Amino acid sequence: MIACQRFDVPDDLVRAFQRDGAVVVKGVVDQAWREVIAAGMELNRKHPTKRTKDYARDDATGERFFHDAATVTANPHYEDYITHSPIGHVAAQMMGLERALAFYVTVFLRSPGTKARTPWHQDQTSWSAAGRDALSVWTSLDPVPEDTALEIVRGSHLWERPLKRPYFEHNHLGGTMEIDGLDGMPIPDFSGADRYSYDIAAWPMEPGDVLVFHGMTVHGGSGDLPVDLGRRSISIQWLGEDARITDPPGGADPDWLPELAEHGLGVGDYPACAMCPVIEPEQPNA
Ligand SMILES: O=C(O)CCC(=O)C(=O)O
């Protein structure tokens, strides 16, 4: 078990997370941790993993939307942030648990003025882990004005039927996959015609704030940045004790099954291993 810094989340925020499927917690990631993340992003840009993708790239305008997905241990700066900053404690409290399993890390680096928006989706339909206790802790090193923020559909983590899975490639233009074994609901036009049929929330955020959202919370829409503002965001995926490795319909994205197999784990196993460490908060006054 690895001990992380503590951050006591007020009970009303934990209740809001459990009811709505997403909440912002202010001031979790201090300047020192933001510098650690920035160093990690610098290294990540120079040495992307095999899973990196440019979701948008226009050499004429300079627009670039870089994405990567990595294991917790792939980048020493990310690993430090994930295992020792207070975000593991925040994740555990949201799930009502003493500790949380750090699953993996995703990174979204948008150059100033990037137009590409994130398609509406649920994360966990493509994860290689199933379980009710599952969430992401997302933060940005840059300020997030509300009209460019990642939007979430309140209560969607409790929907009985999942959404179809969208395509993320091709400049985020979307389109959905037809997948045998996934009885997916067509994705409503959350940004347009269907917007007012749903309870959609977005929060302005300052560096240091985190957005915590459940693995099944529908989210999307972020982007369309002003010309003078970029967005360097990092999202850590966390699991609870009910997590089990799975091979979801349509295949996992990112697919961690090969790496988990290298740690002796397969479908049906609890994914705790050196690649997916379990984190608990240090004792008070430790
Ligand atoms: O930052 C974004 O625009 C996308 C974030 C996201 O979709 C995620 O963390 O799952």
CB of 144 within 8 A of CB of 242?
A: no
Residue of 214, 235, 253 best suited for mutating to test ligand 1, as the one with most atoms within 8 Å of CB: 235
Question: Rounded to the nearest whole angstrom, what is the distance from the C-alpha of residue 221 to the centroid of ligand 1?
Answer: 9
Maximum C-alpha span of the chain: 54
Which tens digit of pLDDT belongs to each residue from 240-282? 999 999 999 889 999 999 999 999 999 999 999 999 999 999 9
Would you say the CB of residue 237 lies under 6 angstroms from ligand 1?
Answer: no
Confidence of residue 194 (pLDDT cuts 50, 70, 90): very high
Give CA–CA dist 253/248, Å, rounded: 9
Find the mean pLDDT for residues 142-148.
96
Q: How far apart are CA 141 and CA 225, in angstroms?
A: 14
In this prediction the pTM is 0.96
- Cis, bond preceding 254 (omega within 30 deg of 0): yes
Residue 173 — pLDDT band, cuts 50, 70, 90?
low
Average pLDDT of span 199-224: 96
Sequence-distant (6+) residues with CB within 8 A of 194 are 188
* Residue 144, C-beta contacts closer than 8 angstroms, at least 6 positions apart: 150, 203, 204, 205, 206, 231
**What are 190's two structure tokens?**
């959350």
235 Cβ below 6 A of ligand 1: yes
Average pLDDT over residues 166-193: 79
Question: Which CATH architecture is the domain 2-281 placed in?
Answer: Sandwich (2.60)
Residue 228 C-alpha from the chain's centroid: 25
Q: How far apart are CA 143 and CA 44, in angstroms?
A: 21
Q: Which residue has a Cα nearest atom 4 of ligand 1?
A: 118
Give residue for tokens 């949380």: 100
Nearest CA to ligand 1 atom 9: 235
Q: Which element (helix H / strand E) includes 245?
A: strand 244-245
